[in-house]
A and B are shown apart, each in its own frame.
Chain A
Amino acid sequence: KNQVEQSPQSLIILEGKNCTLQCNYTVSPFSNLRWYKQDTGRGPVSLTIMTFSENTKSNGRYTATLDADTKQSSLHITASQLSDSASYICVVSARNDYKLSFGAGTTVTVRA
Chain B
Amino acid sequence: NAGVTQTPKFQVLKTGQSMTLQCAQDMNHNSMYWYRQDPGMGLRLIYYSASEGTTDKGEVPNGYNVSRLNKREFSLRLESAAPSQTSVYFCASSWNRGENGELFFGEGSRLTVL
Contacts and interface: CB of A to CB of B under 8 A. Distances in A.
A41 B100 contact: no
A98 B97 contact: yes
A98 B99 contact: yes
B13 interface: no
B108 A43 contact: yes
Interface string B41-77: 1111100101000000011000000000000000000
Question: Majority SS of interface residues in chain B?
Answer: loop
B105 interface: yes
A101 B58 CA distance: 12
B105 A44 contact: yes
Interface string A70-112: 0000000000000000000100011111111111110000000
Contacts of B98: 98
A98 B50 contact: yes
A93 B99 contact: yes
Given A41-B108, A98-B48, A46 B102 contact: yes
A24 interface: no
A14 interface: no
Given A103-B42, A104-B40, A97 B99 contact: yes
Given A42-B108, A43-B107, A31 B100 contact: yes
Interface of B: 4, 31, 40-45, 48, 50, 58-59, 90, 92, 97-108
